[in-house]
Amino acid sequence: MSGYLDAASAEPLHPAARAVLAEAYDRGWADPLRLYGAGRQARLLLDNARELVAAVLGARADEVVFTSSGTTAAHLGVLGVGAAGSVTTDEHEDVVVSAVEHSAVLYAARRRVDPAKGTVVEVPVDGAGRIDPGAFAAALTSSTGLACLQAANHEVGTVQPVESVAQAARAAGVPLLVDASQAVGRMDLPSGWAALVADARHWSGPPGVGVLAVRRGVRFRPPWPEDEYEAGRVPGAPNIPAVVAAATALRARIDEAQAVNARHRVLVDRIRREVPTLVPDVEVVGHPSERLPHIVTFSVLYLDGLSLVTALDRAGFAVSSGSSCTSNTLEPSHVLVAMGALTHGNIRVSLSRETTDDDVERFLTVLPEVVRRLRDEVGAP
């Protein structure tokens, strides 16, 4: 899809996944718990997909469950990992998170913590969006029930120092949940986690497939009634055809990862380098080197994000924005605020495997004209 520059929201379906989808519906429709042929066949497809996804994530197959979205996987992980056996516990419990976690993690953390008995402790980030591992480690105390740190940030692409935080968490006896939603297929995944969250939409799988991996031996209690599917952790049978397509997309994506990521790195470097020379008064945000290959974010002084998104859409480009005017709450992105970055006129460009050199070339041609026109309209200084 030409001009689509919002892969960090969702990627178009991988052709390899599309190729197996119809057959997966033909063979994977039955209840995987049933013992007759069609049920066993569905179960086999599900087991194979689980093996494949687990291997890529660095997990065992019996540690992985599929959910209906990455958001659900994050909610399930944050609410379930290390959760006390009884909901009536009087124990004081804090959850430690980075200030730039995905809102799915932050909202679930706020739901998990009873404000009368604990706090959601937010570890601040520097101007590049990175936590200080020493500060994160220092926030872990005997009353910390769970820590959450993303592998890399979804809005600005900054990679977090997960490995050293994982060491500190292990030493403190705190389970660490790692949101790897943007990282799978884009970078080497960190190890040392107690739980890992991923989302097939971000590796060009179909929408509606999330993944939660929980290490064996980690205490886990789902926030909803347990049934017989997905090790009792996710209610209801998974969407097996979509899971099969997600696993197929993942395998194809890992096979081509080196080439795609190298191409993205060149294109994103170009955008990071050229936008500030083509457009005056622009701030490129995110870490200059410790970052995902496919995301670049910048803020354009004196413009509102909604006008930019709309004007670029008219010019044939799909991008997202962390500016307040583009959010339902009219609050600016908590990620940009935590970084102290300019929040208005914000644009996130994220490349999919289908993005071409020509897309980026055209974007860099159109953007300066769009900005000049919009700045004229608002009478920018």
Spell out, one character per residue from 298 to 327, where the chain touches another protein: x when CB under 8 A holds, - when not.
-x-xxxx------------------xxx--
**Is 58 in a helix, a strand, or coil?**
coil
148 is catalytic: no
350 interacts with another protein by CB under 8 A: no
Number of residues that bind another protein (CB under 8 A): 25
Q: Residue 157: which residues within 8 A CB-CB, separation 6 or more?
A: 182, 286, 287, 291, 292, 294, 295, 296, 297
E runs forming strands in 73-221: 94-98, 120-123, 144-148, 176-179, 195-199, 210-214
Catalytic residue among 231, 284, 315, 325: 325
Distance, CA of 299 to CA of 186 (rounded, Å): 24
31 interacts with another protein by CB under 8 A: no
Q: Residue 68: which residues within 8 A CB-CB, separation 6 or more?
A: 208, 209, 210, 239
Residues 267-286 that bind another protein (CB under 8 A): 281, 283
CB of 381 to another protein, least distance (A): 4
Among 344, 359, 360, 370, binds another protein (CB under 8 A): 344
Distance, CA of 318 to CA of 93 (rounded, Å): 42
CB closer to another protein out of 99 and 218: 99
CA distance to 24, 92, 96, 126, per residue, from 18 (Å):
10, 48, 40, 41
CB of 326 to another protein, least distance (A): 11
Q: Which stretch binds another protein (CB under 8 A): 31-39, 289-297, 328-336, 360-368?
A: 328-336
Q: What percent helix, strand, coil does the chain show, rounded to 5?
A: 45, 15, 40
| Dmax (CA) of the chain | 72
230 interacts with another protein by CB under 8 A: no
CB closer to another protein out of 160 and 321: 321
**338, 128 Cβ separation under 8 angstroms:** no
332 interacts with another protein by CB under 8 A: yes
CB closer to another protein out of 72 and 307: 307
Give the catalytic positions in this structure: 325
- Note the residues at the interface with another protein (CB under 8 A): 281, 283, 299, 301-304, 323-325, 330-332, 336-337, 340-345, 378-381
